[in-house]
Amino acid sequence: MNLVEKINDDVKQAMKSQDKEKLSVVRMVKSAVQLAKIELKHDLSGEEVIDVVAKQIKMRKDSIEEFTKAERNDLVEQYQREVEILNEYMPEQLSSEEVTKIIEEVFDKIKPTSPKQMGLIMKEITPKVKGKFDMGEISKIIKEKLNNL
């Protein structure tokens, strides 16, 4: 079963079980996938669907950050629950240790000499971790490593 089918099945299951919160989130994801399908003018591959879901998660995490600053704990909790539901559609997440190992391997391969080589490193790492770890965190780790050269 591909990811689009899983999303469609989850919409049906949420309707049957009358889980309004999950139904709302899954419908949003389904709409985002359909919008991406229209924009790209082709059926989405599994990786493209994961990209759409990752974008939805990122939007909610950004909202959580803003609502935390505004002390809107009710909305923070709501968006955290939405992120948990969205994470069901993401591939198995890598641990910090696994990501650190991948970054070390890429650094050993490229042997960067300055922060200007950030793009090269990200280009090498992205296919290995995309959708499996927060790219913002990876970027921070790499910047820190490059600044300490």
Q: Could you read off the pLDDT of 92-108 as tens digits, one per residue?
A: 888 888 988 998 898 88
The alpha carbon of 128 is separated from its chain's Cα centroid by a whole number of angstroms, namely 14
Is 0.75 topped by the overall pTM?
yes
pLDDT of residue 2: 86
Per-residue pLDDT reduced to its tens digit, 54-82: 899 999 999 999 999 999 999 999 999 99
Report H helices in the chain: 3-17, 20-40, 46-69, 73-87, 96-110, 118-129, 135-147
